[in-house]
Amino acid sequence: MTGDVVRYEAGEDFARRMDAEDPLRGLREEFLFPRGPDGEPVVYLVGNSLGLQPRKAKPYVLEAMEDWERLGVEGHFKAKHPWMPYHELLTEQTARLVGALPLEVVVMNTLSVNLHLMMVSFYRPTRERYKILMEGGAFPSDQYAVASQVRFHGHEPEDAVVRLVPRPGEETLRQEDILATLERHGHEVALVLLGNVNYLTGQAFDMAAITRAAHARGCRVGFDLAHGAGNLKLSLHDDGPDFAVWCSYKYLNGGPGTLGGVFVHERHARSPSLPRFAGWWGHDKETRFRMGPDFQPIAGAEGWQLSNPPILQLAALRASMELFDRVGMEALRQKRERLTGYLEFLLERLPPGFVDSITPSEPSQRGTQLSLRFSKEPRKLLEKLGAAGVVCDFREPDIIRAAPAPLYCSFLDVYRFVEVLEGHARD
Ligand SMILES: *Cc1c(COP(=O)(O)O)cnc(C)c1O
């Protein structure tokens, strides 16, 4: 695989050749695959929902368990990786993952919790400027979080939430429409909150352009990167949003319900006056254990921490973050574009009208995932996929989301997926 333009071919041989030439092919061995009905590793296309378990996750968790057994409370300082600063093991890797300064990121809590904490600080409605601009099709948790924040400040969501919706007959948002809405409503918008990538359509936005336009209108900007972290190559510091939040159990393979991540731009790193909900783990490390009454936040994102974090979860996440750090997002972006491009190529060869991708076809406007609408018995198709050892996810009434995660999915996986689709189309 050289150069960025790949001429895809239809047969299975081509998939095998691409895998043989794939510089990242060895990474597949670093993950544990569930087995399908035939006892073989499944084709796992739901890394956008729950990433696979890295081989090293269990030994890392066991190490913390054994330290606890051996050392009890002393583990805070004497464990192989002491618990007191354990979360710091993830800071630099996380910063590289999302294109941020170490000061700007922290691993803590879970996504929806972090979204609330960020809105406490960055949704500061005034009489004239009190609205939140978001996607009409945002993930439900984000909609609940936003509506409840708006009500918390005494507003009604019907009035205070401005929703971006696609044009009639279209599935995804147009960048020009987002910018036009900002132009029209920007003066009354306190916060612009977008997902990147959208969980349902797979659409990715131009974060830099949206952030620039929103800041020019005086709005604060936050991104929900649940489907972006570990999927897109991000440059949060340069793009400049005020904050971002994400979870680490999707593309980041940190394990079910594991800790999420937060980005707070450097420009807010030393603003002790910024309102926030505080806890002792966000307090200046030098004086934390003096247990004084006054809160002095750590500079940067760490200053938003509330509690001492769950070490077992951090241990599992560390296994995956080491892999991301070893490979880097640029190599993953290249493989991702090829894998998803190959999937798109194979889909285009299926009978006309059988399947329609609602995800943008322009690689810069999407990540790994293609959201596919099937006209013919989608539930039955899902059963056939399951029987063939292909794991996908279904969204009512007719969307199957397929995300060949470049860390552990192969070209042959994509081929096998489309093979089942083809059988169904012919049936
Ligand atoms: C997965 C996802 C969530 C999940 O939130 P949790 O707090 O981790 O349960 C929230 N928002 C988006 C956009 C998601 O895709």
Q: Can you spell out the DSSP letters for 68-130?
A: HHHHGGGHHHHSSS-STTGGGGGHHHHHHHHT--GGGEEEES-HHHHHHHHHHHH----SS--
How many A from CA of 243 to the centre of ligand 1? Answer: 16
Give the per-residue pLDDT at 289: 84
Q: How many CA atoms lie within 13 A of 40 on its CB side?
A: 12
Instruction: Check residue 360 and give left, alpha or beta (phi > 0: left; psi -120 to 50: alpha).
Output: beta
DSSP H helices, 196-276, are: 207-216, 236-239
How many A from CA of 401 to the centre of ligand 1? Answer: 16
What share of residues in the chain are helix, strand, coil (percent, to 5)? 45, 15, 40
Give nearest CA residue, ligand 1 atom 4. Answer: 111
Based on C-alpha coordinates, what's the Rg of the chain?
Answer: 22
Rounded CA-CA distance 299/284 in Å is: 8
Q: What ranges do the domains of the chain cover?
A: 12-32+328-426, 62-325
What type of residue sits at position 250? K
Give every CB contact of residue 170 below 8 A, 6+ residues apart in sequence. none
Ligand 1 atom nearest to CA at 198: 13
DSSP state, residue 51: P
How many A from CA of 246 to the centre of ligand 1? Answer: 7
Confirm if 386 and 400 have CB atoms less than 8 A apart.
no
Residue among 46, 141, 252, 395 to mutate when testing ligand 1 (max atoms within 8 A of CB): 141
Give the per-residue pLDDT at 292: 84
Confirm if 300 and 269 have CB atoms less than 8 A apart.
yes
How many A from CA of 226 to the centre of ligand 1? Answer: 6
Confirm if 237 and 99 have CB atoms less than 8 A apart.
yes
How many A from CA of 111 to the centre of ligand 1? Answer: 6
Ligand 1 atom nearest to CA at 138: 13
CATH 3.90.1150.10, domain 12-32+328-426, yes or no: yes
Rounded CA-CA distance 406/27 in Å is: 9
Residue among 50, 110, 112 to mutate when testing ligand 1 (max atoms within 8 A of CB): 112
DSSP state, residue 407: T
How many A from CA of 122 to the centre of ligand 1? Answer: 19
Give every CB contact of residue 175 below 8 A, 6+ residues apart in sequence. 205, 206, 209, 210
Rounded CA-CA distance 68/174 in Å is: 52
Local confidence pLDDT in tens for the 427 residues of the chain: 444 678 999 999 999 999 999 999 999 999 999 999 999 999 999 999 999 999 999 999 999 999 999 999 999 999 999 999 999 999 999 999 999 999 999 999 999 999 999 999 999 999 999 999 999 999 999 999 999 999 999 999 999 999 999 999 999 999 999 999 999 999 999 999 999 999 999 999 999 999 999 999 999 999 999 999 999 999 999 999 999 999 999 999 999 999 999 999 999 999 877 999 999 999 999 888 888 888 999 999 999 999 999 999 999 999 999 999 999 999 999 999 999 999 999 999 999 999 999 999 999 999 999 999 999 999 999 999 999 999 999 998 999 999 999 999 999 999 999 999 999 999 8
Rounded CA-CA distance 205/27 in Å is: 29
Confirm if 371 and 396 have CB atoms less than 8 A apart.
no
How many A from CA of 321 to the centre of ligand 1? Answer: 19
Rounded CA-CA distance 333/347 in Å is: 21
Adjacent-strand bridge partners of 134: 163, 193
DSSP state, residue 137: T
Q: Tell me how far CA of residue 414 lies from CA of 149, 198, 399, in angstroms.
A: 42, 22, 17
Residue among 247, 252, 253 to mutate when testing ligand 1 (max atoms within 8 A of CB): 247
Give nearest CA residue, ligand 1 atom 15. Answer: 226
Ligand 1 atom nearest to CA at 139: 13
Give every CB contact of residue 62 below 8 A, 6+ residues apart in sequence. none
By three-state DSSP, how is residue 370 classified?
strand
Structure tokens at 384: 């056939």
| Torsion of Cα atoms, 89 then 91 then 96 then 101, to 10° | -150
**Contacts of range 151-158, beta carbons closer than 8 Å, 24 or more positions apart:** 153/123, 153/125, 155/125, 155/130
How many A from CA of 196 to the centre of ligand 1? Answer: 12
How many A from CA of 227 to the centre of ligand 1? Answer: 9
Ligand 1 atom nearest to CA at 249: 8
User: Which residues contact ligand 1 via a Cβ below 6 A?
Assistant: 110-112, 139, 141-142, 195, 199, 224, 226-227, 247
How many A from CA of 112 to the centre of ligand 1? Answer: 6
Ligand 1 atom nearest to CA at 260: 8
Confirm if 240 and 212 have CB atoms less than 8 A apart.
yes
Ligand 1 atom nearest to CA at 114: 7
Confirm if 367 and 228 have CB atoms less than 8 A apart.
yes
**Helix H or strand E segment including 398:** none
Rounded CA-CA distance 174/378 in Å is: 28
CATH-assigned architecture of domain 62-325: 3-Layer(aba) Sandwich (3.40)
Give the per-residue pLDDT at 1: 41
Q: SS3 string of 159-211? A: HHEEEECCCCCCCCCCHHHHHHHHHHHHHHEEEEEEECCCCCCCECCCHHHHH
Nearest to 139 by CA among 207, 189, 203: 203
